[in-house]
């Protein structure tokens, strides 16, 4: 037996039900690695008697893995971030539709796939972060303002290949059409203070340092810095403010962390039980707070102090499945606009 086969054999032995059939198990493929998730899993096991066997890997690698495993995949549930990525997994044919009155009642329709291929369990918003010395509150009201000539040389942005920008671009394609999205991207790119580089946290720090006046970032990055143990990171946040874009119109662009049941799931019943557990108030708390996100279930209140400090906002209720569907069009618009 080759090493690879031995490895695969071991994986199968670890992940499948024992021959006795006494122990109920769930094989979870997750790109999350938060401490609160441990509590989530052990509570689920306490309540249901279902043991969770977990495989963790980065998002795209995980999707690739399930795809390569094909019909023999032991995966029951895939948990990942960004509707754009759930769409990639959907396009690869990895999910099966789930019909659950509980999930349909708890998860708002715009945060789940119309046919139940996946469900959003927490939400993040993409907000404008500004340097308080360079920008006055009220000077910006929406994403479209980032393209205004008055911000020339003042905008820091991560690359257009970032799935967060692609998903925002996809939402703009849905609302404004491809041409206006391209025009917007061209205007934003013309305002760059520097060539796109780094992640959302780097953009926030660059704004705080005065390297640029404005950027876009996901709320959980902002909240993470605000709650940081490092004084310099909290000081950086103190130099910045946040604009909730498009509050007078369609609402702020949001995205999700979500999960779905795998097409070849060996334990589909346990898989649905797990998704329903994720929609419970208790699990919503653990799931959202592990990454400073907002619970998807509207009645679950967040007690995250950094999110509370940001206040409430009106979210865009475009179905997040559009974020994946329009991703290719968004990428083309960014490319044509010269936003690399
Ligand atoms: Fe992220």
pTM metric for this prediction? 0.90
Beta-carbon count within 10 A of 66 CB? 21
| Distance from Cα 175 to the centre of ligand 1, integer Å | 24
Residue 22 has pLDDT above 70, yes or no: no
Confidence of residue 301 (pLDDT cuts 50, 70, 90): confident
Closest to 128 (Cα-Cα) out of 204, 227, 236? 204
| Distance from Cα 164 to the centre of ligand 1, integer Å | 8
Read off the pLDDT of each residue in 27-49 and give the average, rounded to a whole number: 92
| Distance from Cα 71 to the centre of ligand 1, integer Å | 30
Tokens standing for 294? 């907002």
| Distance from Cα 253 to the centre of ligand 1, integer Å | 15
Angle formed by the axes of helices 59-69 and 83-91, nearest 10°: 20
Residue 1 has pLDDT above 70, yes or no: no
12, 63, 92 from 73: Cα distances, Å: 9, 11, 14
Of 15-19, 55-59, 90-94, the poorest mean pLDDT is in 15-19
Residues 6+ apart with CB under 8 A from 128: 140, 143, 146, 214, 215, 216, 242, 243, 245
* CA angle, residues 254, 123, 293, in degrees to nearest 5: 125
Torsions phi, psi for 256 (to 5 deg): -130, 160
| Distance from Cα 58 to the centre of ligand 1, integer Å | 11
**pLDDT at residue 21, as a whole number:** 53
| Distance from Cα 143 to the centre of ligand 1, integer Å | 19
| Distance from Cα 213 to the centre of ligand 1, integer Å | 22
| Distance from Cα 219 to the centre of ligand 1, integer Å | 10
Residue 6 has pLDDT above 50, yes or no: no
Locate all alpha helices (DSSP H) within 195-238, ordered by sequence. Answer: 200-208, 219-226, 231-238
Average pLDDT value for the chain? 93
| Distance from Cα 127 to the centre of ligand 1, integer Å | 13
| Distance from Cα 221 to the centre of ligand 1, integer Å | 7
| Distance from Cα 159 to the centre of ligand 1, integer Å | 14
- Tell me the C-alpha distance between 62 and 78, whole Å: 8
Residue 14 has pLDDT above 80, yes or no: no
Residue 147 has pLDDT above 60, yes or no: yes
Query: What whole-number percentage of the chain has pLDDT above 70?
Result: 94
| Distance from Cα 96 to the centre of ligand 1, integer Å | 26
Confidence of residue 4 (pLDDT cuts 50, 70, 90): very low
| Distance from Cα 202 to the centre of ligand 1, integer Å | 12
| Distance from Cα 12 to the centre of ligand 1, integer Å | 31
- Rg of the chain over Cα atoms, rounded to whole angstroms, equals 21
58, 60, 73, 103, 203 from 117: Cα distances, Å: 21, 18, 17, 12, 34
| Distance from Cα 193 to the centre of ligand 1, integer Å | 23
Confidence of residue 19 (pLDDT cuts 50, 70, 90): very low
| Distance from Cα 274 to the centre of ligand 1, integer Å | 24
Residue 5 has pLDDT above 60, yes or no: no
**pLDDT at residue 15, as a whole number:** 55
Q: What is the pLDDT of residues 192-208, one digit of tens each?
A: 999 999 999 999 999 99
**pLDDT at residue 155, as a whole number:** 98
């Amino acid at each position: 037996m080759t090493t690879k086969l031995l490895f695969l054999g071991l994986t199968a032995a670890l992940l499948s039900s024992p021959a006795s059939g006494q122990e109920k198990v769930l094989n979870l493929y997750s790109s999350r690695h938060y401490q609160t998730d441990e509590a989530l899993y052990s509570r689920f096991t306490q309540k249901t008697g279902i043991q969770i066997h977990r495989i963790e890997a980065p998002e795209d690698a995980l999707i690739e893995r399930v795809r390569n495993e094909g019909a023999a995949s032991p995966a029951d549930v895939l948990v990942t971030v960004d509707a754009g990525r759930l769409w990639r997994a959907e396009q690869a044919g990895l999910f099966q539709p789930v019909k659950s009155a509980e999930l349909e009642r708890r998860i708002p329709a715009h945060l789940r796939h119309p046919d139940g291929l996946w469900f959003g369990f927490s939400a993040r918003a993409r907000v404008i972060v500004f340097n308080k010395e360079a920008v006055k509150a009220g000077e910006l009201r929406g994403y479209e303002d980032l393209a205004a000539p008055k911000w020339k040389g003042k905008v820091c942005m991560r690359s257009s290949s970032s799935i967060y920008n692609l998903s925002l671009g996809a939402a703009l394609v849905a609302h404004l059409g491809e041409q206006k999205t391209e025009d917007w991207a061209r205007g934003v790119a013309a305002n760059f203070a520097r060539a796109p580089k780094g992640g959302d946290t780097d953009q926030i720090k660059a704004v705080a340092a005065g390297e640029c006046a404005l950027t876009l970032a996901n709320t959980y990055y902002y909240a993470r810095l605000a709650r940081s143990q490092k004084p310099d990171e909290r000081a950086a946040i103190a130099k910045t403010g946040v604009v909730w874009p498009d509050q007078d119109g369609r609402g702020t662009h949001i995205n999700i962390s979500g999960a779905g049941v795998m097409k070849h799931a060996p334990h589909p019943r346990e898989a649905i039980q797990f998704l329903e557990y994720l929609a419970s108030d208790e699990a919503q708390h653990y799931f959202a707070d592990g990454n400073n996100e907002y619970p998807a279930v509207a009645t679950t209140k967040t007690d995250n102090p950094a999110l509370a400090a940001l206040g409430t906002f009106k979210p865009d209720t475009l179905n997040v499945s559009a974020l994946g569907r329009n991703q290719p069009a968004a990428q083309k618009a960014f490319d044509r606009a010269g936003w690399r």
